[in-house]
């Protein structure tokens, strides 16, 4: 809902959005106004209160002691007003725009999200696919799905499940180069790797080592930053790839890929957990609650994979 800056109560709501977002640009994006409108609204609010709510610099926006006190009271008041409005109007049905961030492997969730959209036609989904470490609050997301254990204490989290990754190669490649029986033998093979876009690091292959044994120094025969390329190269017989099992299951079933070193792939590694994250707070919007409950019940990952 667009906020009218001339409304005194909306000025308080805009102050709360600014405190949560941490920047004028992010708050303006969420509110549907310009950054200058946010700045002017804050100036009017500070003038009415006779107190400075933020310390401003070219690099940082931080709450003053008065700002922290006013934020705590404002969040409580706004939450209570929203709850009262919903009770009086009966407007408890999930509705409105829901901005959801997904990893690039998020295609796994598309069937469930299509079912969610069909069940809740009053919710307009906006889906953003990226492996970048999004600022959920600052970037205006209602929720994000991410792979790996959550690290932001400002977010509430619900684990959606666990998956495993595996090493795969085409039968033709294995016929030409042999099937490795131990991780150290991978040093003699073409290895197809993934580089994380946000960090530039190459994804490690989570393989069990015997006691006192160092991890193998794997050849980097090809590096890319998406799944489709590694899958295609592996199916074309160009090397061994480390890929999520749900992504290669059909290829293994139809015989175009074969799993290797299955007994060495670590199962239950935290990097292979999948989470739904959303900004924490005393009141959860009905549209977000509906999403959390729906995805948790959808069992997108196989029940055996959950931990």
* CA–CA distance, 67 with 86 (Å, rounded to integer): 28
- What are the phi and psi torsion angles at 63 (to 5°)? -70, 140
Q: Considering the domain boundaries, does residue 280 fall inside one?
A: yes
- Residue 2 inside a domain? The answer is no
- 57 with 176, same domain: the answer is no
Residues 74 and 222 in one domain: no
SS3 content of the chain, % helix, strand, coil (to 5): 40, 20, 35
Both 194 and 215 in one domain: the answer is yes
- Report which of 253, 248, 250 is spatially closest to residue 265, judged by C-alpha positions: 248
* Tens of pLDDT, residues 44-98: 988 999 999 998 876 778 899 998 999 888 888 887 777 666 655 555 678 888 9
Same domain, 124 and 67: no
**Domain count for the chain:** 3
Asked whether 260 and 129 are in contact (CB, 8 A), the reply is: no
3-state SS of 72-115 is: HHHHHHHHHHHHHHHHHHCCCCCCEEEEEEECCCHHHHHHHHHH
Name the DSSP letter for residue 139. T
Task: Assess if residue 1 is contained within a domain.
Answer: no
Same domain as 275, residue 157: yes
**Residues 116, 179 share a domain:** no
pLDDT in tens, 114-158: 999 999 999 999 998 876 666 676 677 889 988 877 777 778 888
100/239 same-domain check:
no
Given this model, what pLDDT does residue 268 score?
Answer: 65
Same domain, 177 and 34: no
The predicted-structure confidence for 164-211, as pLDDT tens digits, reads as follows 889 999 999 999 999 999 999 999 999 999 988 777 889 889 888 876
Report the CATH number that the domain containing residue 297 is assigned in CATH.
3.40.190.10
- Residue 135 and residue 190 share a domain: no
4, pLDDT greater than 60:
no
CA angle, residues 272, 278, 282, in degrees to nearest 5: 135
CA angle 256, 265, 161 (to 5 degrees): 90
Tell me which DSSP letter residue 207 carries.
B
Which carries the bigger pLDDT value, residue 213 or residue 289? 289
Tell me the per-residue pLDDT of 246-266, one tens digit each, with 9 for 90 and over.
Answer: 889 899 999 999 999 998 988
pLDDT at 25 over 60: yes
Same domain, 221 and 299: no
Could you list the residue range(s) of the whole structural domain that residue 34 is in?
Answer: 8-89
User: Position of tokens 């792939």?
Assistant: 265
Question: Residue range 24-33: average pLDDT?
Answer: 83
Residues 6+ apart with CB under 8 A from 225: 194, 195, 196, 197
Is the same domain home to 50 and 117?
no
Residue of 298 and 151 predicted with greater confidence? 298
> Is residue 158 located within the same domain as residue 119?
yes
- The CATH code of the domain that includes 13 is 1.10.10.10
Which pTM does this prediction carry?
Answer: 0.61
């Amino acid at each position: 809902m667009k906020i009218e800056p001339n409304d005194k109560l909306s000025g308080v709501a805009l102050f709360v959005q600014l405190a949560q977002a941490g920047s004028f640009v992010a708050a303006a994006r969420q509110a549907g106004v310009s950054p200058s409108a946010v700045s002017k609204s804050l100036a009017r609010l500070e003038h009415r209160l006779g107190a400075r709510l933020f310390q401003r610099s070219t690099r940082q926006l931080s709450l003053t002691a008065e700002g922290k006190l006013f934020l705590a009271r404002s969040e409580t008041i706004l939450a209570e007003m929203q709850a009262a409005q919903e009770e009086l109007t009966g407007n408890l049905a999930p509705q409105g725009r829901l901005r959801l961030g997904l990893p690039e492997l998020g295609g796994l969730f598309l069937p469930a999200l299509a079912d969610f959209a069909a069940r809740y036609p009053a919710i307009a989904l906006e889906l953003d696919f990226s492996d970048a470490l999004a600022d959920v609050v600052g970037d205006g997301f209602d929720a994000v799905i991410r792979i790996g254990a959550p690290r932001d204490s400002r977010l509430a989290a619900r684990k959606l499940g666990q998956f495993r990754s595996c090493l795969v190669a085409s039968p033709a490649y294995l016929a030409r180069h042999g099937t490795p029986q131990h991780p150290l033998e991978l040093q003699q093979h073409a290895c197809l790797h993934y580089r994380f876009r946000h960090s530039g690091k190459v994804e490690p292959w989570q393989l069990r080592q015997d006691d006192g044994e160092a991890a193998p120094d794997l050849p980097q025969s090809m590096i890319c930053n998406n799944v489709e390329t590694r899958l295609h190269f592996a199916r074309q017989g160009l090397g061994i790839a480390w890929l999520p099992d749900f992504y290669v299951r059909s290829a293994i079933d139809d015989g175009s890929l074969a799993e290797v070193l299955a007994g060495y792939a670590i199962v239950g590694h935290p990097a292979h957990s999948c989470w739904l994250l959303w900004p924490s707070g005393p009141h959860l919007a009905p549209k977000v609650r509906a999403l959390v409950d729906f995805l948790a019940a959808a069992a997108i990952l196989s029940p055996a994979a959950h931990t």
